[in-house]
């Protein structure tokens, strides 16, 4: 029984090591790069960030600022389309989004 457990554990570790995507290999869509350039030019956007999450097998991009009170107000699908919270369950999104990656953080001048 122990042998079966250890075999399953080793196989799980091997499969997650070799089958997982490297977050650094995923390129941003062009619209995200344009969004970053726009934020770079804004003086009032101190410490602004763009986060990438995965939700239901798709990537979503969120604008975040620790200074602004708007949380999840600028969430976009991978296509660049802004999420319509009347059509998508906001609570489910917040609860089930995963693999947070900070893809941009504005540095102080």
Q: Which long-range contacts (CB under 8 A, 24 or more apart) does 75-81 make?
A: 76/31, 78/29, 79/29, 80/29, 80/31, 80/32
Domain that holds residue 39: 30-105
Residue 87 pLDDT greater than 60, yes or no? yes
Predicted pLDDT of residue 66 = 76
Q: Could you tell me if residue 17 is inside a domain?
A: no
Q: How many domains are there within the chain?
A: 1
Q: Note the pLDDT tens digit of each residue in 37-80.
A: 988 887 777 788 999 999 999 999 999 887 776 665 689 999 99
Q: Could you tell me if residue 72 is inside a domain?
A: yes
Q: Could you tell me if residue 60 is inside a domain?
A: yes
What is the average per-residue pLDDT within 84-90? Answer: 94
Distance CA 13, CA 85 (A): 38
Question: What is the value of pTM for the model shown?
Answer: 0.71
Residues contacting residue 67 through CB under 8 Å, at least 6 positions apart:
46, 47
Q: Could you tell me if residue 1 is inside a domain?
A: no
pLDDT bucket at 93, cuts 50 / 70 / 90: very high
């Amino acid at each position: 029984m122990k042998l079966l457990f250890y075999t399953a554990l080793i196989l799980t570790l091997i499969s997650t090591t070799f089958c997982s995507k490297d977050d650094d290999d995923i390129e941003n869509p062009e619209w995200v790069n344009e969004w970053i350039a726009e934020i770079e030019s804004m003086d009032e956007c101190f410490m602004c960030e763009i986060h990438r999450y995965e939700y239901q097998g798709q990537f979503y991009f969120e604008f975040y600022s620790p200074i602004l009170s708007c949380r999840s107000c600028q969430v976009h699908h991978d296509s660049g389309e802004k999420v319509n919270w009347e059509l998508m369950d906001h609570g489910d999104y917040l609860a089930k989004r995963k693999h947070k990656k900070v893809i941009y953080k504005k540095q102080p001048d």
